[in-house]
Amino acid sequence: MFATDRKGLTAPVAVVAAFLMVCVACIGFAGLSDAQGEDLSDTHPEYGDANPIDIAPGFSWSYTASFNLEGTVLSAAVNDFETAGFEDAVSIEGMTVVVEIPEGAQGYYNLVLQGYHADSEQYAYQWIQFNVKDGIAITPSGEILDSAVVGIPVEFEITATAGYGTVTSITATVSDNDAGSFTVTPSGSTVTISGTPAVDDLGAHSVKVDVETSNGETATKTYTFTVYNDFVITADHTTIGNYEDSEVATLSVPSDITVSSWTGLDDYTEGAIVWNSDAMTITVSSDAYINQAIEIGAMSADGQSASITVTVQNENDTMTMSPDSSSVLTYFGNEEAKTVNMTLSADTGQFSGIQADSYTLASPVTGVGIDEGTGVVTITGEAVAQQDTTVTVNATTVYGKTLSTTFTLNVEGAMTFSVADDTLVLVCDDEHTVDSELLNGSAEYATVSYTAQATGENASGIQTSIVEGKLHIDGSTPGQTYTVNVTASTPAGQSITETFTVTSYLDLAFDSEVSAGAIAYEK
């Protein structure tokens, strides 16, 4: 058997194993597999073991079958290519099978060949599993490379990978490179285009990349990049507002750059921030609380882009504080501390205008602490069992305003769970069930729930459940010893597991029979 690309290049492929299973007097045959490329060994043991074939789009695979009985007819019992919509991928003429791998067919496909001998009513099968690998991939993805700027060194690295075979050649050609600014350097499966653009290189360029693999597969991809004059935006103030020295920032661009459009200033309404495109100024015209970084973008007439960030800091006294969680649930002894963070807000944006080390708890709570500098509240395992406790956090703003917020704390007591009798006897009678004693898991301020799970090699021989607070076992196979884990847990994450041993027996009955009738005794 051979795998061949459509250019006529041929690569040997491991010979498919001989027929593995023969079914005598079978009636009919299996249809298409339930899922493309699935493992058929469990559902169709008559197919034998899979014969793997690695191949790529654009290649073909051919195979000529032979049988030990004349008159055998060859067909396909399973054809995943057809199921996937590639109806013309597989052709069978006489004893010859040809598989043409189409583009876009990456994945696993089952092809089960079937031989049928009518005189003896026998079927034989050969299971072939194709692994259609990716063809040549050239990266970066897309077709546009980064822009280049006159006088600034640039480097583009283009890499090819082959899902089938290895990359043996990669070359590139740069268009409009009369000035010789760009150098092409291939190395292994990578080609690098590097250089420092000159004024003569202004404008668009294309990079044509050609790749070839050890299997004769080829691919071509064309990228484009553009060389621009250097375009930068500067500002006389990068932070403005009544919290700063200036409420106006004036932007500047190079004299040889014409700006065709500006972006990033349309989201500010009600006159809080005013943009004058003619004067290229940003003015804060509001007493609202603002702490916002604005990214201002511009597009030049020749298609180049640039941006700058200006931060607006305006103060007011309408700040509020809130926790990132309104309710916290934990349990006594929890080794993993819970935390609650404080969030500050104002008219617009968010600003940490809090006096240094001014975060406090209004009332002490055992096991609850606060970072005076950040306001982070930490609840440790020392917090005692309690229900619906209100924790109040206070802070003072830089303007002297006291902020206050609350959250609710619930702490479960330590959970207990034990089993006095961990052995159960299961009699396989008509009911074939057994229940444990009432499970006794408990925790203060918590509802304990249970789950049951059989373990071990014979775990599937019984069914486990929790019924009315008891472990319930259902099984009908005698002579077995089962292991069942019962886990008690609480909403806060406490859990304890106890193990039961369940032994199953036959329903006791006499094996012997009594013979009726008269009995004579000798004297």
Cα–Cα distance, 39 to 292 (Å, whole number) = 57
- The last residue of one of the domains, among 412, 434, 465, is 412
111 SS3 class: strand
28 versus 345: the higher-pLDDT residue is 345
Lowest mean per-residue pLDDT among 102-111, 202-211, 268-277, 322-331: 268-277
Q: What confidence score (pLDDT) does residue 46 get?
A: 95
Stronger pLDDT, 136 or 417, i.e. the higher one: 417
**Which residues lie closer than 8 Å to 453 by C-beta, 6 or more apart?**
459, 464, 484, 485, 487
In a domain, 177, yes or no: yes
The most confident of 271-285, 323-337, 509-523, by mean pLDDT: 323-337
- Domain shared by 362 and 340, yes or no: yes
Judgement on whether residues 198 and 114 belong to the same structural domain of the protein:
no
The answer to the question of residue 522 being in a domain is: no
Q: What is the pLDDT of residue 83?
A: 93
Identify the pLDDT of residue 381: 96
Q: In terms of pLDDT, which residue wins out, 377 or 316? A: 377
Q: How far apart are CA 523 and CA 521, in angstroms?
A: 6
Q: Is 470 part of a structural domain of the chain?
A: yes
Is 328 found in the same domain as 302? no
The CA distance from 24 to 117, in Å, is 10
Residue 511 belongs to some domain of the structure: no
Average pLDDT over residues 272-288: 84
Neighbours of 147 (CB within 10 A): 15
**Same domain for 155 and 45:** no
| 264 and 347, same domain (yes or no) | no
The tens digit of pLDDT for each residue in 193-214 reads 999 999 899 889 999 999 999 9
Q: Which residues contact 103 (CB under 8 A, 6 or more apart)?
A: 57, 58, 135
In a domain, 40, yes or no: yes
How many independent structural domains does the chain possess? 5
Q: What per-residue confidence (pLDDT) applies to 379?
A: 98
Q: What tokens appear for 361 in the block? A: 């708890």
Rounded CA separation 386/379 (Å): 13
Per-residue pLDDT tens digits for 477-497: 999 999 999 999 999 999 999
Same domain, yes or no, for 51 and 168?
no
User: Do 60 and 162 belong to one domain?
Assistant: no
Q: What is the 3-state secondary structure (H, E, C) of 84-108?
A: CCCCCCEEEECCEEEEECCCCCCEE
Which whole number is the average pLDDT over 205-232? Answer: 92
Q: List pLDDT tens digits, range 410-454.
A: 999 999 999 999 999 999 998 999 999 999 999 999 999 999 999
Task: Note whether 119 and 38 are same-domain residues.
Answer: yes
Longest Cα–Cα distance in the chain: 141
Predicted model pTM? 0.41
- The most confident of the ranges 25-34, 97-106, 241-250 is 97-106
pLDDT band at 313; cut points 50, 70, 90: confident
**Which structural domain, as residue segments, surrounds residue 344?**
320-412
Does 22 share its domain with 121? yes
Spatial contact of 393 and 375, defined as CB atoms under 8 Å apart: yes
As a whole number, the mean pLDDT across the chain is 88
Residue 182 within a domain: yes
1-60 pLDDT per residue, tens: 444 444 333 333 333 333 333 333 333 333 445 688 899 999 999 999 999 999 988 889
3-state secondary structure 464-506: EEEECCEEEEEECCCCCEEEEEEEEECCCCCEEEEEEEEEEEE
Last residue of a domain, one of 365, 387, 412: 412
Of 132, 155, 190, the last residue of a domain is 132
pLDDT of residue 121: 96
Same domain, 246 and 276: yes
- Specify if 102 maps to a domain: yes
Spatial contact of 409 and 365, defined as CB atoms under 8 Å apart: yes
pLDDT at 298 (0 to 100): 92
Q: How far is CA 200 from CA 149, 204, 423, 477, in A?
A: 12, 11, 90, 88
Judge whether residue 385 has pLDDT over 90.
yes
Judge if 120 and 140 occupy the same domain: no
470 pLDDT above the threshold of 90: yes
- The pLDDT of 402-417, averaged and rounded, is 96
Give 335 or 344, the one with higher predicted confidence.
335
Cα(361)–Cα(55) distance, rounded to whole angstroms? 68
Do residues 127 and 163 both lie within one domain? no
CB 428 within 8 A of CB 507: yes
Residue 89 near residue 82, CB atoms below 8 Å: yes
Give the CATH number for residue 308.
2.60.40.10
**Averaged pLDDT for residues 285-301:** 81
Q: Is residue 469 part of a domain?
A: yes
Predicted local distance difference test score (pLDDT) of residue 22:
38
Q: Pick the closest to residue 63 from 102, 117, 32, 19 (CA basis).
A: 19
Residue 268's pLDDT band (cuts 50, 70, 90): low
